[in-house]
Amino acid sequence: MQPFDVETIRREFPILSRQVYGKPLVYLDSGATAQKPQCVIDKVASLYRETNANIHRGVHLLSEKATEQFEAARAEIADFIGAAEKEEVVFTAGATASLNTVAYAWGERFVQTGDNLLVSEMEHHSNLVPWQLLAERKGAELRMLPIDDTGRLRTELLPSLLDGRTRVVAVTQASNTLGTRPDLRAVIDAAHAAGAIAVVDGCQGVVHGGVDVRTLDCDFYAFSGHKLYGPTGIGVLYGKRALLEAMPPFLGGGDMVDRVTFARTTFAPVPLKFEAGTADFVGAIGLGEAVRFVRQFDAAQIEAHERALLQRAEERLAAIDGLRIYGTTADKCAIVSFNVEGVHPYDMGMILDKLGIAVRTGQHCAEPTMTHFSTTGMCRASFALYNTLAEADALAGGVERAVRMLRG
């Protein structure tokens, strides 16, 4: 295992050495997409240069080599998240595709008219809209598990929201807007006690703290590769094998079948029955490389580094007159969303951009969270293992400068 040294790590990310408007790039938008280490860039490039061939469908050398690397990436990722076997890892186009797969495939078979689905108030739209669509299709009720004004998930309300007709409880491992890491143990145990499945959006959680899906005992877990230092366009759906086997396929086509006749089609075993068409084998192998990169470092050291970044940023930002931080739970991950009284978040974001500081502005695909806090948008700085305390200071300094400019 490599010792954690942020300056050494930064040298692995080529884009971090570039300038923006003549100023050093301060990239604080990793919650939207993380930058890529050189090893991932090299792996993707080498696959196209040396091993570009469709997987599972050829006896020639290139196809066999690509297939070996594809399945090795599946095994690497399964081990990384604590899955019981690699067959519980389904490759998808991203977390959105993963969550829609569960909502359509599992939902169509197991949700009936009069059932209900429980979704937390702070979910990304990808873990809300698919359940809304399912409820509309099936005549089910969609219920909301609320948050309080600190961003804490109000798990004490679970007994009043769950009943014998609850089929799904969907919750994030870490809010992409507030940074909140809810008490998933309480949520999952309550879901199972009611006879429901627990579906976890792990997009931020898998990066900030990681996961052991067997210890967590979630039924499904979804995340995207591009937030975990991997390529875009690739994601993972973990599902307990018994549940995956009970679900019908979501998409039909090549590679997900066993036998096809005009009379009937039988399907490949899991996970292949959920991987219709030509797989993004380059993305999957690239994600496997990203996981290997992250696993070089002690997870506790990464967590401590990100905790220090968050603490520095929040201390500096909180001292700015009129600035409000959204999401103040003690165990939040390295995400800080904020607004300044009288300053539109887009104006703040544009000024920070001219200073070389990349943040995200808007609703962050979490409009119900915006509604809870009576705002139309927020500025969000999201940190990663390659950020520095100097960059946290640069953020605060940039916000101070923007406030002076905008307030005159």
Q: Where in the chain is the domain with CATH 3.40.640.10?
A: 42-294
Contacts of 250 by beta carbon, 8 Å cutoff, 6+ apart: 100, 101, 104, 105, 274, 276
Q: Is the pLDDT of residue 408 over 80?
A: no
**Mean per-residue pLDDT of the chain:** 97
Q: Is the pLDDT of residue 107 over 80?
A: yes
Which pLDDT score is estimated for 136?
Answer: 98
Q: For 119-156, b where at least 16 C-beta lie within 10 A, e where not — what string?
A: bbbbbbebbbbbbeebbeebebebbebebeeebbbebe
Query: Has domain 42-294 been given CATH number 3.40.50.10800?
Result: no
Which residue, among 389, 120, 364, 94, has the nearest Cα to 228 in the 3D structure? Answer: 94
Residues 60 and 63: their CA atoms lie apart, in Å, by 6
Query: pTM of the predicted model, to two decimals?
Result: 0.98
Q: Which residues are catalytic?
A: 365
Q: Is the pLDDT of residue 208 over 80?
A: yes
Q: Could you read off the pLDDT of 12-48 as tens digits, one per residue? A: 999 999 999 999 999 999 999 999 999 999 999 999 9
Q: Any idea which fold 6-30+299-407 has?
A: Aspartate Aminotransferase, domain 1 (3.90.1150)
Percent of the chain surpassing pLDDT 70: 100
Indicate the residue type of 14: P
**Nearest 5 degrees, angle CA 235-CA 121-CA 31?**
40
Q: Is the pLDDT of residue 57 over 90?
A: no
Q: Could you read off the pLDDT of 220-244 as tens digits, one per residue? A: 999 999 999 999 999 999 999 999 9
Q: Where in the chain is the domain with CATH 3.90.1150.10?
A: 6-30+299-407
- What value does the mean pLDDT take over residues 72-89? 98
Percent of the chain surpassing pLDDT 90: 98
Helix, strand or coil for residue 271? coil
